[in-house]
Amino acid sequence: MGSAPLLCEGRVVIVTGAGRGLGRAHALAYAAEGARVVVNDLGVGLDGSPGPGSPARQVVEEIRAAGGEAVAHGGDIATAEGAASLVRTALETYSRLDTLVNNAGFLRDRMLVNLDEDDWDAVMRVHLKGHFLPLKHAVAHWRTEAKAGRTPRARIVNTSSGAGLLGSVGQGNYSAAKAGIIGLTLVAAAETARYGVQVNAIAPAARTRMTEDTFAATMAAPGSPNAFDAMAPENVSPLVVWLGSDACAGVTGRVFEAEGGRITVMEGWRPGPSADKGARWTPAEAGDTAVRLLAGAEVPGVVYGAQ
């Protein structure tokens, strides 16, 4: 019997923040499924290009050593020029672009009363703006293709977090940015469908540089038949690869939680209990009605760290 066809054969995939952690795992997984990968990471040399010791270059070397194709990009994707050059790198190197995985990010955790404006701006810039700008430039290319009669089968996978879904104590900036990414995902899915673009988001839980103190290794003893490191970032990548492939046709505007061996479709805000007086409430009436409605509403999930 012949081997199964590769899921992303012939596709060109950009992964931002792909030098380490989840991004590295995604880049390697895409390459293993036949994709040609643009590996973005800001670990750059003095001239702004990824040098031999940069994390992006190291991942490219890993992919090439395994027989795959990849190119490094060291630009700052939270700038217009960096995001534009990222898309140009894919087009100039491989003459096409099929999938964008927005993954880059970092943490500056503080309780809100101790959170500096610079810490707020920096996290918003890298996570939220760093999703918007590559998305904008990739979609601009795909729109041009669609208008020329070459409608793509394009995919965007954004990276949110459980912190963006429920909130996380000490991570007000990060939680707000990750919640914003979900909103961006929903709008982008609605606006870009006409151009052949599908946009989804993941909320992963895995051990990376950002979370290594939170998620210790949970793997069984080496050689054990049940050996499985539930917090390994590689566990998240199969879903990301599928979402970036042709195989997920028709799936868009969705958020998936991925952790270990578990995948969950997340269900967002939707109307719950409601009351309509047909006229203006008094404050007392509004309060009484709100209390009554809350009694019949689902209890929200607990904010991470609140217990």
Q: Mean of the pLDDT values across residues 112-116?
A: 96
Give the pTM.
0.90
Catalytic sites, residue numbers: 161, 174, 178
Q: What is the pLDDT of residue 217?
A: 47
| Maximum mean pLDDT: which of 24-33, 52-61, 227-236 | 24-33
Tens-digit pLDDT profile for residues 172-227? 999 999 999 999 999 999 999 999 999 999 999 988 655 555 544 444 445 555 67
Q: What is the pLDDT of residue 6?
A: 95
Tens-digit pLDDT profile for residues 63-86? 999 999 999 999 999 999 999 999
Q: What is the pLDDT of residue 307?
A: 73
| Domains in the chain, CATH or no CATH each | 12-266 (3.40.50.720)
Q: What is the pLDDT of residue 224?
A: 54
Q: What is the pLDDT of residue 175?
A: 97
Q: Does 161 or 223 have the greater pLDDT score?
A: 161
Q: What is the pLDDT of residue 50?
A: 56
- How many angstroms separate the CA atoms of 124 and 48, rounded? 23
Q: Mean of the pLDDT values across residues 258-265?
A: 95
Q: Quote the Cα angle for 280-295-287, to 5°.
A: 30
Q: How many CB atoms lie within 10 A of CB 111?
A: 10
Query: Does pLDDT of 14 surpass 90?
Result: yes
Rounded mean pLDDT of the chain? 91
Query: Does pLDDT of 287 surpass 70?
Result: yes
Q: What is the pLDDT of residue 221?
A: 47
Q: What is the pLDDT of residue 44?
A: 45
User: Which range is least confidently modeled, 96-100, 142-146, 148-152, 212-216?
Assistant: 212-216
Q: What is the pLDDT of residue 48?
A: 43
Q: What is the pLDDT of residue 194?
A: 98
Q: What is the pLDDT of residue 206?
A: 85
